Amino acid sequence: MRAITVRDRDAGVGGLNLTDMPYPHAAENDVIVRVHAAGFTPGELDWPGTWSDRAGRDRTPSIPGHELSGAVVELGYGTTGLTVGQRVFGLTDWARNGSLAEYTAVEARNLAPLAADIDHTVAAALPISGLTAWQGLFDHAHLTTGQTVLIHGAAGGVGSIAVQLAREVGARVIGTGRADDRDVALGLGAQTFLDLAADDLQHVGEVDVVFDVIGGDILERSTELVRPGGTLVTVAMPPAVQPKGGRAIFFVVEPDRARLTDLAQRLRAGRLNPIVGAVRPLPETASAFARHRRTPGKTIIQVADEQGARHS
């Protein structure tokens, strides 16, 4: 089968190559999914699981991509809850071959059923961004109605979903990003937008929650904006400093079938709109992610069309 693989840790996205790889084996509780559309997260080539298995052994050539939408074609021994032919979407494991391939083996519990009227390219934009945004805002920061949240990278994959979820719960949303992201962030529901290169972050005043996806200096400068009792959540890096009277948390997104199902229902009801900035075929994966300036939201790789025919 065709897949995108990486072998060289120092090569960056230029090291993403189209390769012929063996059809995957379905382990216990796995399904094999025929991938229709796949998502890729900037930064995942730095994650340890891209290069080693859970025992720390080199697992190159490895297939990146941890979001998918597709159809179940095979069940592993003991797998329950999904059936052959079913449309599904969800996360692939961090330390196993991923979704930038025609087929992939995934633990069934990482996937949720997908309604027939949701396009695979839209569904593939939801698992990591949607679960990360939900878990950050509500499981970790406990954002509620009437609170103020500062969301960095508001036009990006995670940030664009976080803005919509935060508005729906009745929070006041301040989005940040690059100057070009202003209209997208405001269009998603942010009440205020800050261009991080030009506007002064300190003018935001105190907020109940900071949601950070950028890290570094932006993360550090955001710490003092958290009001006592408030929370800073970041998915970029463990925070070095804690807010005065508040807390700062780094977390890694976890699979959650029930939440994925809820996110898909919001999407069908028109309450959630993942931004698919670009859709590119599998052989163009490297160029899709090597571009200097990315499009808003997620770039999705279309592997097969709705009928399962190869898309190239």
Interface residues with ligand NAP (CB under 6 A) are 41-43, 128-129, 132, 153, 155-159, 177-178, 181, 196, 213-214, 235-236, 252-253, 293-294
Smaller CB separation from ligand NAP, 88 or 125: 125
Smaller CB separation from ligand NAP, 21 or 128: 128
CB of 43 to ligand NAP, least distance (A): 3
Smaller CB separation from ligand NAP, 50 or 132: 132
CB of 136 to ligand NAP, least distance (A): 9
Smaller CB separation from ligand NAP, 3 or 128: 128
Q: At what angle do helices 257-268 and 127-134 cross, to 10 degrees?
A: 100
Smaller CB separation from ligand NAP, 24 or 175: 175
CB of 152 to ligand NAP, least distance (A): 7
CB of 60 to ligand NAP, least distance (A): 20
**How far from chain centre, in Å, is Cα 142?**
20
CB of 129 to ligand NAP, least distance (A): 6
Smaller CB separation from ligand NAP, 32 or 213: 213
CB of 194 to ligand NAP, least distance (A): 9
